[in-house]
């Protein structure tokens, strides 16, 4: 029996040893580093690494923006930070509660993990179910991962770390509680999932596409120089904002017109996607999900009360 256990252990170790995120920080501004994920969907071959995380090396220590999709990712992120600086991590800021942004929290349990109050509430309510879904989709990459809630609440305004001034904005278009972070020192805007670029956006918690569009206007009006979307490549021009406005406007009009015409949900998910969005990753997949999430609201908006 002992020999069998050793054989089984020996067979499993190489597979686990291959689960390496191989994170390589890329400098995008002075003292500012990006870990860029793919624009694919969650899969066992990427371990859920479809997200952009980042960190800022300040005089006081390192500020981390989001912790990634698993405990293993969070640990790899700390190791990646250590290749850049010997300074300690002094703060984690979570942009929102979705699992690819927060399930690396365990690797940072020794430092303040800050989030909007709404983010903490949503993670408390939905975190376990989201984590279970991640286990289903990416398997052993998630081993040992548990939901760790933020341990302090951030509020909008400017927070200073050394000489670095970070402006924290409380927005709501993507999940109802979305933190955007503008580094006023460098002009880097960590937009979280308020901005998707070259990757179709996700809508499971949005309070409404009009709210999201208003947030895009707020972000574009900031004195940014570099935009870090939650998913997709970094940009130094307005293209991410233009693409988001265009896509959100099209999606809103598509469903509003469909509801007004009495179209069935099955018909809506088969709607043609405009050619200008052809290069955006996961367009059909996310259209199906967005219609499933949002179309009933548009249908209800067309209903009239018969008792009035």
pLDDT band at 12 (very low <50, low <70, confident <90, very high): very low
For the chain, what is the mean pLDDT?
Answer: 93
Q: Does the pLDDT of residue 13 top 50, yes or no?
A: no
**Mean pLDDT, range 237-249, rounded to an integer:** 98
Q: How far is CA 159 from CA 44, 52, 155, 180, 289, in A?
A: 38, 22, 9, 13, 37
d(CA 273, CA 200): 11
pLDDT band at 10 (very low <50, low <70, confident <90, very high): very low
d(CA 133, CA 121): 19
39 against 302, higher pLDDT: 39
pLDDT digits (tens, 9 = 90+) for 251-299: 999 999 999 999 999 999 999 999 999 999 999 999 999 999 999 999 9
Amino acid 11: pLDDT = 40
Q: What is the 3-state secondary structure (H, E, C) of 294-308?
A: HHHHHHHHHCCCCCC
pLDDT digits (tens, 9 = 90+) for 67-97: 999 999 999 999 999 999 999 999 999 999 9
Q: Does the pLDDT of residue 16 top 80, yes or no?
A: no
Contact 203, 284 (CB under 8 A): no
pLDDT digits (tens, 9 = 90+) for 128-177: 999 999 999 999 999 999 999 999 999 999 999 999 999 999 999 999 99
Amino acid 305: pLDDT = 58
Residue 90 φ/ψ, nearest 5 degrees = -115, -10
Q: What 3-state class would DSSP assign to 34?
A: strand
Stated length of the chain: 308
50 against 15, higher pLDDT: 50
d(CA 209, CA 79): 38
Contact 101, 192 (CB under 8 A): yes
Q: Does the pLDDT of residue 17 top 80, yes or no?
A: no
The sign of the torsion formed by the CA atoms of 238, 242, 169, 51 equals negative
The sign of the torsion formed by the CA atoms of 171, 174, 176, 180 equals negative
Amino acid 303: pLDDT = 79
Side-chain-facing half-sphere of 164: CA atoms under 13 Å: 24
Q: Which residues contact 158 (CB under 8 A, 6 or more apart)?
A: 165, 166, 167, 168, 184
Amino acid 15: pLDDT = 54
d(CA 229, CA 253): 24
| Domains assigned to the chain | 2-238 (3.60.15.10)
As a dihedral over the C-alpha atoms of residue 124, residue 129, residue 131, residue 133, rounded to 10 degrees, the angle is -160
pLDDT digits (tens, 9 = 90+) for 35-58: 999 999 999 999 999 999 999 999
pLDDT digits (tens, 9 = 90+) for 174-226: 999 999 999 999 999 999 999 999 999 999 999 999 999 999 999 999 999 99
2 against 248, higher pLDDT: 248
Distance of CA 214 to the CA centre of its chain: 19
Q: Nearest-5° angle of CA 283, CA 189, CA 211? A: 55
Cite the beta strand spans of the chain per DSSP E: 26-29, 32-35, 53-57, 62-65, 89-93, 113-115, 152-153, 157-161, 164-171, 178-183, 188-196, 226-231
């Amino acid at each position: 029996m002992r020999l069998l256990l050793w054989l089984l252990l020996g067979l499993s170790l190489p597979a686990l040893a291959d689960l390496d995120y191989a994170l390589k920080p890329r400098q995008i501004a002075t003292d500012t580093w990006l870990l860029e994920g793919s624009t694919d969907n969650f899969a066992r071959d990427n371990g859920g690494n479809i997200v952009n995380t980042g960190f800022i090396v300040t005089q006081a220590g390192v500020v981390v923006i989001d912790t990634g999709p698993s405990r293993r990712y969070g640990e790899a992120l700390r190791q990646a930070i250590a290749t850049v600086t010997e300074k300690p991590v002094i703060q984690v800021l979570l942009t929102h509660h979705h699992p690819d942004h927060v399930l690396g929290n365990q690797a940072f349990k020794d430092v303040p993990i800050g989030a909007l109050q709404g983010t903490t509430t949503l993670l408390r309510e939905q975190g376990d179910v989201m984590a279970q879904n991640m286990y289903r989709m990416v398997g052993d990459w998630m081993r040992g991962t548990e939901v760790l809630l933020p341990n302090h609440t951030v509020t909008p305004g400017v927070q200073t770390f050394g000489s670095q001034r970070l402006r924290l904005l409380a927005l709501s278009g993507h999940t109802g509680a979305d933190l955007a972070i503008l580094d006023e020192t460098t002009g880097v805007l960590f937009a979280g999932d308020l901005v998707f670029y070259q990757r179709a956006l996700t809508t499971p918690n949005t309070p409404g596409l009009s709210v999201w569009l208003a947030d895009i206007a707020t972000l574009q009006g900031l004195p940014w120089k570099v935009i870090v979307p939650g998913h997709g490549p970094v940009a130094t021009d307005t293209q991410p904002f233009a693409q988001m406005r265009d896509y959100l406007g099209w999606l809103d009009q598509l469903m509003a017109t469909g509801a007004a015409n009495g179209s069935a949900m099955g018909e809506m998910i088969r709607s043609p996607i405009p050619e200008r969005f052809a290069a955006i990753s996961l367009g059909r997949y996310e259209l199906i999900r967005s219609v499933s999430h949002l179309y009933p609201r548009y249908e209800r908006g067309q209903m009239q009360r018969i008792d009035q």
